[in-house]
Amino acid sequence: MKKTTFLLLAVLVVFLGLASICTAEEGVTDTTIRIGQWGPQTGPAAPWGAVARGTGVLFQMINEEGGIHGRKIEYHMFDDAYNPAKTKAGVKELQEGIGIFGWASGVGTAPGLAVKDYLMQRKIPWVGPAAGSLHWISPPQKYLFAVYPLYYSEAKILCKYAIEKLGKKRIAIAYQNDDYGKNGVSGAEVELAKHGMKLVAKVPVELTDTDMKPHIMQLRKARADLVLLWVAPGHAVRIIGTGRAMRFTPQWMSTSTCSDFPLMMAISKGLWRGVITGSFAQLPDSTSPLMLKYKKAFEKYAAKGERWGVFFYAGIGFVEPMVEGLKRCGRNLTRERFVKEMEGIRNFKGIFGRIDYAPFDPNDPYCRQGQKELFLIQCEKGGKAKSLTGWMEPD
Amino acid sequence: MGELVQTLVSGIAVGSSYALMGLAMVIIYKTSEVINFAQGEMALLSVFLTYMVLEYYHFPFYVAFPSALAFALLLGFFLEFAVLRRAKEPNVLGMIIITIGLEMILMGFVSWKFGAEPKTMRFPLSPYDSLSLGEIFVSSLEALTFVVALTLMTVLFLFLRYSKLGIAMKATQQNKMAARLMGIRTNRILMITWGISSLVGCTAGLLIAPTIMQPYMMWDPMLKGFAAAVLGGMTSLPGSVFGAYIIGVVENLFGGYVSIEFKSAVAFFIIVLVLCIKPSGLFARHYVKKV
C-alpha cells in the first residue's frame, strides 16, 4: 500500500512538473522574468555602456516595489565591447543557457544587427534597441519594437530647422562612415531636396580617424555655413576643435547621441556651447514626477561614480514600453501575449516622447517604430540645455 | 597652392605624435629586438595618473608633469624587471606575446579605475588655439609636439651614439653574450631601455591627452608609431621620425586629394609597399650575424 501511494505521488509530481514546463514560457517562472541586455562596458564605445546600467537601475526599482504582478525581473547584462561577434556569442549563451524571455535595448546598430535574425527566427521579443537605425523597422519584424527615433527622421528635423529658422543656405555633413552616419546623410538629403537644395559637402569619418584637418579642409572648401555632425561624441569634439584651430566656425548641429551637454562641454573645453542637437528624452534637470522618481532610484541603486547623464537615463526610457507591455500581460505572461499587448500601446508617455505601436503589418514599417518625435536643444553656458522647439515629427 | 601647403603642414603636425611613439618603440627594439605592444598602454597609465594628480589633487603642472615622467621611467624599469626578465627561456616571439598581455592588463586597469567616459586634461596650451601664417594654420599643441619630437630624437640619437650607456645598449642588442663578457650588465641595460622608452611614450601621451582622453586613446598613435618605426627600419631613431612624417604627410595628401575614407589605412599600405621594395626599412643598417 505504502509502495503504491509513493508511486502514485511520484507520478503526480512528474506529471505536474512536466505540465508546468509545457505551459511556462521560456524565461518566465512563477516568481521571475528573465530579461537580457548587451552593452559596451569596455572598448571605444564604452561611454554608451551607461544605457545598460540605467536599465539595471529601473529593474532594481521595480523589483523593490514588488516586481511585475508578483514576478521579479532577473536582469542579465553582459559586456560585448561593441563587438558584434561578442554580442552574438553572449546572446546565444544566455538564450540557450538559461533562457531569456525577451531582450531589452542593447547599444549599437552593428551589434544589434548581429543578433536580429537570431532573435526574430526564434520569436523572442526585443524592445528598444539603443540606436535609431532604419534596419529595425524596414522591413518591420513582429517581435522587434523600436523606441529610439530614427536618425533619418532626426536629420530631416534638424535640416528643416536649419533652413526655415536659421536661414542657412550651405549645409554640409560630417558623418561616421557606417549605417549610423549614412542614415543621417539620407535624411538630410531628402529634406534638403524638398527645399531645392543639396548638401554642399559629405565628409566621411572613419572610427579610427584622430586627425580631423583633412575633414575640416573639405568643409571649409565647400564654404558650409552649417555642418551636421553625424559622428560619435569624441569625433564631434575633435571636428569642432580642429575647426576652431583652423578658424572655421560655422553653426554646428549634431544628433541626440551627442546631446549629453555636460559631458560634451567638459571634453570640448567649452567649445560645445551653441551647438544644436536633437533630444529624444526629457532634459536631465527636468522636474517631472517620473524623472524625479527615476533620479531617486539612481541615487539609491547606481554605482558610486555613476553620472545622471542622458545615456544613463536613456537606458530607463528605452525599456519603459517593455515594462508597460509586461504590466499589461498580467500573470498570464507569454511571448505572444506580450507582443499583442505591446501592439496595443498608444499615446504612451514616459520620460521619452510619445510612443505608439500598431498591429503588425508587414507593409507598414511604422507599426513597430514607437517614438517618432523629438525636440531640438541648444547647449548653453555650463552645459545647460535650452529647448528651441517643442516635440516635433518629420513631415 | 595654399591648400597644398596646409595639407603638408597638417601632415607634419600629425606626424609628430606618431614620431614620439615610433621613437619609444625603436628604443626597445634596438636593444632587445622585442616589439613592445604595451608601449601605448604604458603611456596611458602614466597619463591617467597625471590626470588624477591634476584634477583630483589639484597639483600644479610643474609638479604633475615631471612626476608623470618619473613614474613612467619607474614603470618601464618595473615591467622589465618584474615581468619580462622572469620569462623562462625567452625568445622574441614569447616576449612579444608578453607585451600583448601587458597591454591588456594595463588597459583593463585604466578602464576599471577611471571608467570609459571621455575626459580631457588641463594643459598649459589649448589644443584648439593655433598659430597662423596667412591662411596656413597649425595648432599650438601640435607645434609643441613637433619641437618635442625633434628635440627628443636629437637627444636620444646623441645619447645612443656617444654616451657609454648608449654604446652599451647597442652592444647588448648586437651580441648579448659578448656584451656580458665585456662587463656590461645586460639585464640592467634592458631595464634602463624600458625605462627610457616608457618615458618617451609618456611624453607622447601627455601631448595627446589635452584633446581627448579615454582608455583607447593610445591605440591608434601606437599603431601609427609602429608603422613609422617599421618604415624607418625599426633600429633607426631618425628613420622612425622620418617615417612618421612620411605617414602623416601621405595620410593628409591622400585624405585631401584621393579618398578621405581610406586615409587611416594608407599608412599600412605604405608599410607593405616599402617592405616589398626594401624589407629592412628605409633607414636600417642591419647588423648581420655571421653563421
Q: Cα A314 from chain centroid?
A: 7
Q: How many helices (H) and strands (E) does chain A have?
A: 13, 14
Task: Say what the pLDDT of residue B174 is.
Answer: 83
Residues belonging to chain A with any Cβ–Cβ distance to chain B shorter than 8 Å: 40-44, 46-47, 49, 177, 203-204, 206, 208-211, 213-215, 217-218, 221, 233-234, 237-238, 241-242, 244-247, 263, 266-269, 271, 305, 307
Once rounded to an integer, what is the mean pLDDT over residues A7-18?
A: 54
Task: Say what the pLDDT of residue A18 is.
Answer: 47
Task: Say what the pLDDT of residue A13 is.
Answer: 52
Cβ-nearest to A177 among B117, B215, B261: B261
pLDDT digits (tens, 9 = 90+) for A213-266: 889 999 999 999 999 999 988 899 999 999 999 899 999 999 999 999 999 999
Instruction: Please state the domain extents for chain B.
Output: 2-277
pLDDT digits (tens, 9 = 90+) for B260-278: 888 878 878 888 888 888 8
Element of type H or E holding A35: strand A32-39
Residues contacting A302, CB < 8 A, separation 6+: A53, A57, A312
Q: Which of A89-103, B50-64, B78-92, B152-166 is predicted least confidently?
A: B78-92
Residue-wise DSSP of B67-133: HHHHHHHHHHHHHHHHTGGG-SS--HHHHHHHHHHHHHHHHHHHHHHH-SS-B----SS-TT-EEEE
Q: Which of A180-194, A355-369, B233-247 is predicted least confidently?
A: B233-247
Upper half-sphere CA count for residue B48 (Cβ side, 13 Å): 26
Q: How big is chain A, counted in residues?
A: 395
Once rounded to an integer, what is the mean pLDDT over residues B150-161?
A: 91
The complex scores an ipTM of: 0.83
Task: Say what the pLDDT of residue A60 is.
Answer: 97
Domain at A151-279+376-387: CATH code:
3.40.50.2300
Tell me which chain A residues have a C-beta less than 8 angstroms from the C-beta of B3. 217, 221
Task: Say what the pLDDT of residue A6 is.
Answer: 57
The per-residue pLDDT of chain B, averaged, comes to: 88
Tell me which chain B residues have a C-beta less than 8 angstroms from the C-beta of A206. 261, 263-264
pLDDT at residue B19 tops 70:
yes
Task: Say what the pLDDT of residue A388 is.
Answer: 96
Contact A147, A321 (CB under 8 A): yes
Dist. CA B243–CA B224, nearest whole Å: 10
Residue-wise DSSP of B13-42: HHHHHHHHHHHHHHHHHHHH----TTHHHH
Residues contacting B261, CB < 8 A, separation 6+: A177, A204, A206
Instruction: Please state the domain extents for chain A.
Output: 32-149+286-360, 151-279+376-387
pTM, two decimal places: 0.85
User: Which residue has 554640409 as its cell numbers?
Assistant: A172
Domain at A32-149+286-360: CATH code:
3.40.50.2300
Task: Say what the pLDDT of residue B54 is.
Answer: 94
Work out the end-to-end distance of chain B between its first and last CA atoms, rounded to an integer number of angstroms.
54
Element of type H or E holding B8: helix B2-32
Which cell numbers hold the place of B163?
A: 654616451
For B125, counting Cβ atoms within 10 Å of its Cβ (0-12 exposed, 13-18 middle, 19+ buried), the class is: middle
In terms of Cα–Cα distance, which of A104, A81, A70, A152 is closest to A332?
Answer: A70
pLDDT at residue B26 tops 70:
yes
Q: Kindly indicate the confidence band of residue B283, based on its pLDDT and cuts at 50, 70 and 90.
A: confident
Q: Kindly indicate the confidence band of residue A201, based on its pLDDT and cuts at 50, 70 and 90.
A: very high
Which cell numbers hold the place of A51?
A: 544605457
Contact A139, A167 (CB under 8 A): no
In terms of Cα–Cα distance, which of A150, A144, A154, A152 is closest to A123?
Answer: A144
Evaluated on CA atoms B88, B92, B93, B99, the torsion sign reads positive
Q: Does B3 touch chain A (CB under 8 A)?
A: yes
Q: Does B124 touch chain A (CB under 8 A)?
A: no
Contact A273, A385 (CB under 8 A): no
pLDDT digits (tens, 9 = 90+) for A151-197: 999 999 999 999 999 999 999 999 998 888 999 999 999 999 999 99
Tell me which chain A residues have a C-beta less than 8 angstroms from the C-beta of B263. 206, 209, 214
Task: Say what the pLDDT of residue B134 is.
Answer: 81
Q: Which of A87-101, A188-202, B83-97, B216-230 is predicted least confidently?
A: B83-97
Q: Which fold has domain B2-277?
A: ABC transporter involved in vitamin B12 uptake, BtuC (1.10.3470)
Task: Say what the pLDDT of residue B291 is.
Answer: 55
Task: Say what the pLDDT of residue A385 is.
Answer: 94
pLDDT at residue B83 tops 60:
yes
Cβ-nearest to B118 among A42, A233, A242: A233
pLDDT at residue B111 tops 90:
no
The more confidently predicted of residues B13 and B44 is: B44
Dist. CA B277–CA A147, nearest whole Å: 54
pLDDT at residue A20 tops 50:
no
Do you find a cis peptide bond into A139, omega within 30 degrees of 0?
A: yes
Q: Kindly indicate the confidence band of residue A316, based on its pLDDT and cuts at 50, 70 and 90.
A: very high
Q: Kindly indicate the confidence band of residue B288, based on its pLDDT and cuts at 50, 70 and 90.
A: low
Q: Kindly indicate the confidence band of residue B89, based on its pLDDT and cuts at 50, 70 and 90.
A: confident
The per-residue pLDDT of chain A, averaged, comes to: 92
Task: Say what the pLDDT of residue A87 is.
Answer: 96
CA angle at B214 for the pair B209 and B220, rounded to the nearest 5°: 75
The more confidently predicted of residues B62 and A207 is: B62
Q: Do domains A32-149+286-360 and A151-279+376-387 have the same CATH topology?
A: yes
Once rounded to an integer, what is the mean pLDDT over residues A112-117?
A: 96
The total of other beta-carbon atoms located within 10 Å of residue A207's CB is: 16
Element of type H or E holding B139: strand B136-139
Which cell numbers hold the place of A102?
A: 525577451
Dist. CA A204–CA A187, nearest whole Å: 16
Interface contact B10-A245, CB threshold 8 A: no
Cβ-nearest to B3 among A211, A217, A238: A217
The more confidently predicted of residues B7 and A114 is: A114
Q: Does B247 touch chain A (CB under 8 A)?
A: no
Residue B289 distance to chain A (closest CA, Å): 39
pLDDT at residue A19 tops 80:
no
